[in-house]
Amino acid sequence: GAVVSQHPSWVICKSGTSVKIECRSLDFQATTMFWYRQFPKQSLMLMATSNEGSKATYEQGVEKDKFLINHASLTLSTLTVTSAHPEDSSFYICSARVTSGAYEQYFGPGTRLTVT
Amino acid sequence: QKEVEQNSGPLSVPEGAIASLNCTYSDRGSQSFFWYRQYSGKSPELIMFIYSNGDKEDGRFTAQLNKASQYVSLLIRDSQPSDSATYLCAVNSGGYNKLIFGAGTRLAVHP
């Protein structure tokens, strides 16, 4: 159980375009999902907390107008990188939190974004 | 500022040995503690969680929690080369909301 999927697994886009990444909890409902970014050989960096039916909460320094998050259902959250630039190239990973017990988070497989 | 500290390593152990990974945290109000494994180029995978003082065992893995001393550890028995990865310690940031991650300890198990 506790499987989280992400789509696409990798994407290449041109500078100035937008890219949407989907995160789905496949076998449980997740009122809260999280979006992380990880640069090579660096730690996970939390970008935002996505709550079903409400606005996302962004971490300090993360541009909410650039990284649009929508959590329209209990199993789906999307991250849209708008007007992408080469410096946005990174490994984007989502996680979904279970709603009982230790409230642990399960991670999706990640999306590798390359902006050319 | 709430922090989670881990030794970055690498921690090198021979195959078959016990690997001991340690983590300290600053927020005394933390309730739940997690260990994730991350292979290079992959996303983190949950290994174990613990929220009561003492030991919790799952197969070759044992998590240990000492809230008074604010540390949590992970023991890996009979280490295998496939255990070579970065191990991330994470602590819940109150309200069971976001997790605070340590920078990770890189473990290398050599044959």
Q: How far apart are CA A64 and CA A59, in angstroms?
A: 9
Q: Give the residues of chain B that fall short of pLDDT 70.
A: 1-2, 94-96
Find the distance separating the first CA and the last CA of chain B, reported in whole Å: 40
Return the number of CB contacts < 8 Å for A and B.
Answer: 44
b/e A36-49 (16+ beta carbons within 10 angstroms → b)? bbbeeeeebbbbbb
Question: Residue B98: what pLDDT?
Answer: 86
Question: Residue A1: what pLDDT?
Answer: 64
Question: Residue A101: what pLDDT?
Answer: 76
Q: Could you report the per-residue pLDDT of A5-41, keeping only the tens digit for each?
A: 999 999 999 999 999 999 999 999 998 999 999 999 8
Question: Residue B109: what pLDDT?
Answer: 98
Question: Residue A102: what pLDDT?
Answer: 78
Q: Could you report the per-residue pLDDT of B66-77, keeping only the tens digit for each?
A: 999 999 999 999
Q: How far is B80 from chain A (nearest CA, A)?
A: 23
Q: How far is A46 from chain B (nearest CA, A)?
A: 9
Question: Residue A53: what pLDDT?
Answer: 85
- Contact (CB<8Å) B49/A109: no
Question: Residue B4: what pLDDT?
Answer: 94
Question: Residue B94: what pLDDT?
Answer: 61
- Contact (CB<8Å) A103/B98: no
pLDDT cut 70: percent of chain A above it: 99
